[in-house]
Amino acid sequence: MIFTEPGQAPTPGPEYLRETPFMDTGTASVRGFAERAVAGETSPIGKAVRLFYAVRDSIRYDPFSMRLDPSTYAASHVLAAKHAYCLPKAILLAAASRVAGIPAAIGLSDVVNHLVTEKLKARLGGKTYFMHHGYAVLYLEGAWVKAAPAFNIELCERFGVRPTEFDGRSNAILQEFDARDRRHMEYVKDHGIWSDFPYEKVAADFRAFYPPIAFGNEDPGERFEDGTPLH
């Protein structure tokens, strides 16, 4: 763990730009994705904003894809799958940001999600408490900024959720209320911000918290956004 809140953050060292097995910035797919997204943009802020929206909307949010296999968290795997839940999407954003020369980390928080489907709730053992919601944390203009690219625009429109927007200067986390002012997301516990994805911690915590069905194989034709929110 490197720090708990961006305001307490140190100036980033080389570990925030380094390639790792999860942020596999040396792979052709990750480098190509980042380079296409930022093409023609020169400022770090502008690059970060483009990368955020590229990850948010080109990778479909899919909580049914949650697995314990470490290979599924690599940025290159997320690009190949084209669907992922919040943590792998955050890893992709952090990796792509490193390709663009932007220091990046991973933040972890527990959240209560008030907009779930019956099927997702059942898979999670009746829980609406989500452990280790993940987001990227980017170093821009001398400050660390949180960016959660989890919910793609199609999902937001389907469920009536306000999309998370990012300007590169303010934290972009999931919205507290949806488009109809119903309670949507509550951030309830902060687990800190990490220079690399702490897989061993997350996997151990997931095994202890979620039932085995949470990590089961999904129907290949099943889409989370085709379900009906509980409210």
Q: What is the pLDDT of residues 157-178, one digit of tens each?
A: 888 888 899 999 999 987 655 6
Provide φ and ψ at 193, rounded to 5°.
-125, 135
Looking at the predicted structure, is the pLDDT value of residue 54 above 60?
yes
Give residue 184's pLDDT: 66
More confident residue, 6 or 102: 102
Counted residue by residue, the chain has a size of 231
Q: Which H helix or E strand runs over 105?
A: strand 104-113
Pairwise CA distance, residues 138 & 148, whole Å: 11
Q: Let me know: does 137 contact 104? Beta carbons within 8 Å.
A: yes
The pTM for the full model equals 0.91
pLDDT tens track for 73-110: 999 999 999 999 999 999 999 999 999 999 999 999 99
- Which domains, and CATH codes, for the chain? 6-214 (3.10.620.30)
- The token pair at 91 is 């890893």
Q: Which of 165-169, 204-208, 215-219 shows the lowest mean pLDDT across its residues? A: 215-219
For range 181-202, the mean pLDDT: 86
More confident residue, 181 or 143: 143
Give residue 230's pLDDT: 43
Give residue 182's pLDDT: 58
Pairwise CA distance, residues 188 & 85, whole Å: 19
Q: Let me know: does 172 contact 86? Beta carbons within 8 Å.
A: no
